[in-house]
Structure 1
Amino acid sequence: MIFLATLFSGLCAAAQSFSVTFPSALSAQPLDGRVLLVLSTDDSDEPRNQINDTPKTQMVFGVTVDGWKPGQPVTVDENAFGYPVRSLKDVPPGEYTVQAVLNKYETFHRADGKVIKLHMDQGEGQHWNISPGNLMSKPAKITLKAGGAAIAISLDKEIPPIPKAKDTKYIRHIKIQSAVLTKFWGRPMFLSAIVLVPAGFDEHADAHFPLIIFHDHFVDGFDDFRTEPPDPNLKPVYSDRFHLAGYNRIQQEEAYKFYQQWISPKFPRVLIVKIQHANPYYDDSYAVDSANVGPYGEAIETELIPAIEKQFRGLGTGWSRFVYGGSTGGWESLAVQIFYPDHYNGSFAACPDPIDFHEYTNIDLYDDKNAFYLYGAHKQVEQPSMRDYLGHTFITTKQINEYELALGDHGRSGEQFDIWQAVYGPVGKDGYPQPIFNKETGEIDHNVAEYWRQHYDLEHILETNWATLGPKLQGKIHIYVGSDDTYFLNNAVYRMEDFLKSTTNPPYDGEVTYGPRAEHCWNGDPTLPNAYSRLHYNTMYLPKILDRIEKTAPAGADLTSWRY
């Protein structure tokens, strides 16, 4: 038995390390960042593009470097934090493709006196594997073996810049430097937006238009707007997420249909805007002011939106502005309507991120002791983080936080739980976000949870302030979610609905709707399955928006210049 145990240990423990360097030709100066070493058994793509939170992920191991000099070796060994395999010593010997990436950090001297190091977005939406300027190695075939010598890897390539997007007849771009964000971060900070202008925009120079903010993750274009017919040679691809064959073809078909609607004579003439607000923590700021991420709410509301309305002839009034979006965009749509109730005339929030932290996905931040486990009298059960409508678990909350820990310490993964922590939480003593829970043990910090409750728990804010907020929000709140949301986001919506139904003086007069058996991110059309409904954000809310404008526009408002 002892012999078998020893043999098994020898077979399963590669215990081999890697020695990573970069040449002075790529940087003569020392660099800070996170070295991410990827091992893959899948030859379909480069290893750096195969790390994710799905069961198909390959392996990544992370090490933080400070003042790393050219030519100086950095060792990635069994002490590096790994995902989904915790340590290199647990990787079985065998054939792998290896690739390493340095996710560069910049030093920020913030206005609050904190000096921290983070990766600054380079126009890619905070994705370490494609961020311009990051260093990487060429993929290489290796053989891992127990007790083998350290494998040398050179980061001898640099990810190239992303070409600047060009304006077209319908898609325009705007970029401004934000004064308030520049002051907060201690370096120039910018906000951008992609604007879908209506047919006849240039010809009708005297027209002014309602403005619709389509909140979303970082996007580099309107992929849901296509002026060319679908590509007949496009090979259909099965979507694991939506359980649908040929979803890529459906996307093209629906995007082309939207274009045909957009240019039709009777289609509403409005501006649809997607904001680009990637930041040092994530691909998106959550569009609110935050102690860690900065005053993005103020910047968007008082700097970017007025600039958009000036350049693209928006009507520039609260009654003529609306917001919609799903997931992160769903939370943002509801949050900005609540935090800036006079700025918008309606919010359409699909599958919003947790809007009540009693149901932070499926964690009760106020009453639970641990974010990873459900405790019984004599056992603990690890809790899921992702599922399908049949209840199959794809990853647990513990595992998804291990994924984030591999990508970055101090909340620097650029992923979901870390950005929630950065946006909603206070600043820690070290200048980084104060953790809401221990990412290795799951133990919840209830003092931090109370801070979250008072500042960003949307249900709590509504319930506490309905006497003043209610009159400004009546008829403006619309929430849609699948009853089997992939990330359990329906749980918080149930609680929000219970409160909204109880409102009086005034009643909320909005809607909360559930899609039976629908996963993430169902957005409210009962006639469409989940995958299709995601493609209709830009059309399905417009009748409700136009009806709201007709009912609420003040006397003398411009209801004609944009109707041509």
Structure 2
Amino acid sequence: MQLEENYLSAQGFGVDVENAAPGSTVVVDAKTIGFPRRSLADLDAGDYTVQAVFNVYEQFHLASGKTVWLPPDKGEGQHWNLKPGNPYNAPVSVHFDPKSGKTLKLTLDKVIPPIEGTDQDPAVMAAKDPGAKWLKFMRFRSEKLSRFWGRDMYLGAWVLLPDGFDEHPDARYPLVVYQDHYHAGFGPLPFVTTKPDAKNAPRRAAAGYKFFQDWTSGRLPHVIMIYVQNANPYYDDSYVVDSANVGPYGSAINEELIPAIEAKYRGIGQGWARATFGGSTGGWEALATQVFYPDMYNGTDAACPDPVDFHAYQNIDLYNDANAFVRRGDFGEVPVAADRKPDGTIIATAESEFRFEYVLGTHGRSTEQWDIWQAVFSPAGTDGYPADVLDPLTGAVDKKVVDYWHDHYDLTAILQRDWPVLGPKLEGKLHVAVGDGDTYFLNNAVHLLQTALDSTRNPHSDATFQYGPGMPHCYTGGPPEYTMQENNANWPQRVLPLMADHMLKTAPAGADVKSWRY
């Protein structure tokens, strides 16, 4: 599939179909909304390669009493073009002329096969992994999520055990949570136990082998490191907070899954002995986890986080912009940019990205970025789907929904509002990095967060911020003498020792600070 959110995307069209039976017909015509061109009528006459995929929705009978139609994750990480059971056709070449009136027919005669039992199945991956001595996989049924969604709902967790775990049966360990998008395997880096070919190995494999060497040589602290798979019917990731639409993922992960992991693998199980880090979506999650669970975690390193202040919702000011797609003066207007290159070249606008997602799914069902933010942050609408914070086709902003976002998920606003309580609990715990050329303008919100924290008193915030001049998305900070790629490749090796040192400095009297330090 070649659809993407910027101007380089292939052409796509999307249509909702209800109660489709095998052999039924789905019509795409000039009224069907498309991206990048809005209509079939806007296409040039010529030769095209065409493929159709049918994303199958299922009914969810929510605990709220509402019934919604959504695409369940089937182990593929919520990607409609990889989802088992979705019908599709092999690409075909056609000649199309919008003026001819000719009907073109496609037959969806193929079905994406299941993942379960294949090498893409995490359970199979774990069983075959040569690093299985250290790397374990857990499939965990969440009672909280199952109750919310009206069906059994599971979390996946990769657990990386410290070297010497079996040889030190009396040791108990701190826990570090890595936050990220869905990966079939272990998230932060591949845990590569065999030295890759120096000439032909991808950089990621080489970094994974270096991580394995550092993990098993005593150069890194002996901690349990986990990565949680939390794909859901709206996205490949839940944002690890409790949400009116996505469900109680914050509670499920922090109150059900993590205690179960710590009980099984001898975690210390106390707040001073937990930390979290992540980038992008994981950066927002790492910061939000520390803010919403201030006593449960003892530090966060958040890189290039998704919008932490809705004055800078990427490049949209939800509080002051009446329209998210254009800014208007008395005699002119300019489109709101969404994506850019580090040199400032604009490659997508807010209007085009919202239409791209609308093509992939109405009612916020695209399983893409803007829609998951809306699903996580919005109240449920009267129809059971997320309330629109803005109209996906016109850009009109709903200020009542924005008010709900502000009170529940604007991290800057929450920190300012609750600083008398949160401030003392967050001392020494907040560390944020972002590139000042971030692809999605996420640095703007981070600057606003720093300005707010710099103005705090009693206590004055000691949060640290690092900005990479001209650096794009996924900047994780680090020594400036190294490239962004080099710093990203050894990110766990940079943050884990700092986390362990902070834990030791802040451990309460009588805490176990010895058994895991062998």
Scaled by the length of structure 1, the TM-score of the pair is 0.87
Matches of 1:356 and 1:412, distance apart in 2: 24
Does the aligned pair in 2 maintain the 1:351–1:520 contact within 8 Å? yes
Query: 1:533-544 alignment to 2 at 5 Å?
Result: 533-544=487-498
RMSD value, Cα: 1.4
2:328 paired with 1:364? no
Matches of 1:531 and 1:396, distance apart in 2: 27
Matches of 1:536 and 1:287, distance apart in 2: 25
| Higher mean displacement: 368-377 or 448-457 | 368-377
Shift in Å, 1:535: 2.2
Q: Which residue among 248, 266, 272 is the counterpart of 1:319?
A: 272
Query: 1:349-428 alignment to 2 at 5 Å?
Result: 349-428=302-381
Does the aligned pair in 1 maintain the 2:141–2:154 contact within 8 Å? yes
Shift in Å, 1:266: 3.5
2:122 paired with 1:170? no
Matches of 1:83 and 1:561, distance apart in 2: 58
Does the aligned pair in 2 maintain the 1:208–1:561 contact within 8 Å? yes
Shift in Å, 1:256: 1.4
Matches of 1:184 and 1:550, distance apart in 2: 39
Q: Helix, strand or coil: the match of 1:460? A: helix
2:103 paired with 1:150? yes
Q: Helix, strand or coil: the match of 1:414? A: coil
What's the counterpart of residue 158 of structure 2? 194
2:15 paired with 1:63? yes
Q: Helix, strand or coil: the match of 1:68? A: coil
2:516 paired with 1:562? yes
2:92 paired with 1:140? yes
2:68 paired with 1:116? yes
Does the aligned pair in 1 maintain the 2:87–2:110 contact within 8 Å? yes
Shift in Å, 1:148: 5.1
Amino acid at match of 2:195: P
Shift in Å, 1:507: 2.0
For residues 471-526 of structure 1, give each alpha carbon's deviation from its aligned partner in whole angstroms, at most 9, with x where no partner exists. 11111111111111111111111111111112221122221111111111111113
What's the counterpart of residue 338 of structure 1? 291
What's the counterpart of residue 347 of structure 1? 300
For residues 397-448 of structure 1, give each alpha carbon's deviation from its aligned partner in whole angstroms, at most 9, with x where no partner exists. 1111111011000110001111111111111111111111111111111111
Q: Helix, strand or coil: the match of 1:545? A: helix
Provide structure 2 residue ranges, at least 5 long, that are not aligned to the other structure.
127-131
Matches of 2:354 and 2:225, distance apart in 1: 35
Q: Which residue among 147, 164, 177 is the counterpart of 1:183?
A: 147
Q: Which residue among 195, 199, 211 is the counterpart of 1:229?
A: 195
Q: Helix, strand or coil: the match of 2:16? A: strand
Does the aligned pair in 2 maintain the 1:224–1:535 contact within 8 Å? no
Does the aligned pair in 2 maintain the 1:325–1:537 contact within 8 Å? no
The number of aligned residues is: 503
What's the counterpart of residue 129 of structure 2? none
% identical equivalent positions: 49
Matches of 1:134 and 1:309, distance apart in 2: 37
Shift in Å, 1:543: 2.5
Shift in Å, 1:533: 2.8
Matches of 1:475 and 1:267, distance apart in 2: 21
What's the counterpart of residue 478 of structure 1? 431
Query: 1:11-50 alignment to 2 at 5 Å?
Result: 49-50=1-2
Shift in Å, 1:232: 4.8
Query: 1:240-255 alignment to 2 at 5 Å?
Result: 249-255=202-208
More strand by share: 1
Scaled by the length of structure 2, the TM-score of the pair is 0.94
Provide structure 1 residue ranges, at least 5 long, that are not aligned to the other structure.
1-48, 235-247
Q: Helix, strand or coil: the match of 2:53? A: strand
Q: Helix, strand or coil: the match of 1:152? A: coil
